[in-house]
Structure formats: C-alpha cells, structure tokens
Structure 1
Amino acid sequence: MTARIERPLSPHMQTYRWTLTMILSIVHRMTGVALYFGTLLLAWWLISAASGPTAYANVQAFTSSFMGRLIVFGYTWALLHHLLSGIRHFIWDLGYGFKANEREALTWGALIGGISLTVLLWIVAYAVGGGR
C-alpha cells in the first residue's frame, strides 16, 4: 500500500477578492466565445444576401424581430468590448499599464468604452437607416 502524499492545494477563486480586472478578464474570454456564434449569424446574413431576395428576406425578418435585434446588439457589444479588451491586453504585452491606477483606468476604459461605442453605433445606424 502506498502512502498518500499530502500536497498543497492551489488557491481557488473563492480565496481571492474579486476585482474588476478579474471579472473583465473572464468577460473577455466569454465575448471571444460569443463572437464565434455571432460570426455564424454574420455568415448566414452574407450567404442569404448572395442567395437571393427570398433568403435575404428571411434573415432580415429574423434580425428585425425583437430577439434578433437583441442578439445583434449583443454581438455588437461583444465585438467592441473584445476589441477594447484586446487593446488593453496589447498594452500590457508591451509592458505598460501594470500600476494599480493604470490597470484600473484601462479596465474601466474597456468596460465603459465597449458599452458607449455600442450605443453610439446603434444610434448612428438608426439615424442613418431611418429606424429600420
């Protein structure tokens, strides 16, 4: 019979005090996964546009519905948030932004920027598209 070796356990997420940086790191990963599914929607739209008016009308009917617009809005936010978080990570890869106040500013910038740019983009799209 072999003796069981007691090894220290790695700290679990419950051990740490959650910070905005930690949460947005997880959200960055989640938006990356969401972009895969949103890209399928984009591909469906492009294929339908090439397939003819009937196929395109079907996609437009879906994306014009409440649920469709909610999904497209979420895709827009995921795309912009992932972009800004990617820029934040790039800045860190360059060796900058590691001081606590810089890290917080970059994190808040990605969070507020993603939401603000999404809302601004949709306002402009509605203004240009006449609410369609």
Structure 2
Amino acid sequence: MNKQSRPVNLQLQTIRFPVNAIASILHRISGVITFFALAILLSLLAKSLGSADGFATVASWFDSFFVRLIIWLIAAVFCYHLVFGIRHMVMDCGYWEELTSATASARICFIVALVLIILMGIIIW
C-alpha cells in the first residue's frame, strides 16, 4: 500500500482566514452569547417589574460602571448579530453570493456594526 503524504501546515501563524469566514464565525459566536445574555436581561426585567423596590434596585445598579459595561457588551453583541444576520438573510435571498460582493458586504457590515456599537456606548453612558 503506497502512502501518499499530504501537505501539512503546522505553523498556525501563517493561516489567514478570509473576511467572510471571520464574519461567519463571529456571527455564530454572537448568537450563542445573545442567547445566554437574554437570561441576564430577562432577570433584570423580572426584578424591575416585580415591585417598586425592585425597580429602584435595578435602577441603582445602572450607576455602576461594571453593570453599564456588561449592558454595553450585550448591546454590542446584539448589534453585531443583527447586522450580520440581515447580511446572511440577504445572501439567502440570492444576493451578494459572489466572492467579491460577499467580501465587500462583510466589510461594510463590520463598519455598520462598529458604528452601532459606538452609538450604543454613547447612549448607555
């Protein structure tokens, strides 16, 4: 039996993912984070709607830098997932399927998501 040796790249620093792959991987990760972040947001909502004291407690938590940072990170992940989810739906409709247009749309979506994330940071702070 003749064994053919395949080329093996063991230098991980030389592997470069295309922008479309990075966008797709980050979209999946942001979906998982958004799913678990809903538990945090729903618990805050339940506590704030439970009573007037609960609302005052949740409102006082938002004075903390740490809580604002967590809310901003959740909003950032949601904005990213929303923008790239719209991109994926447009691609599912048959547009932006060529490599050049898909790469361009991924870059544009990164810029739009960054602008939305900065806007959310301004609104939260």
Partner of 2:98: 99
Change (3 A) 1:63 1:26: farther
**Contact 1:31/1:81 (<8 A) preserved:** yes
Unmatched tracts of structure 2, length 5 or more: none
How far did residue 32 of structure 1 move?
0.5
**Contact 2:47/2:55 (<8 A) preserved:** yes
> Deviations along 1:62-116, whole A, 9 cap, x unmatched?
3432221111111111111111111111111111102222111211122111120
Q: How many residues align?
A: 118
* TM-score, normalization by structure 1: 0.74
How far did residue 16 of structure 1 move?
6.3
For 2:51 and 2:44, how far apart are their aligned partners in 1? Answer: 11
**Contact 1:28/1:81 (<8 A) preserved:** yes
For 2:37 and 2:61, how far apart are their aligned partners in 1? Answer: 14
TM superposition outliers: structure 1 runs of 4+ over 6 Å: none
* TM-score, normalization by structure 2: 0.78
Unmatched tracts of structure 1, length 5 or more: 1-5
For 1:36 and 1:58, how far apart are their aligned partners in 2? Answer: 25
Counterpart AA for 1:105 = A
For 1:59 and 1:26, how far apart are their aligned partners in 2? Answer: 34
Partner of 2:83: 84
**Contact 2:79/2:117 (<8 A) preserved:** yes
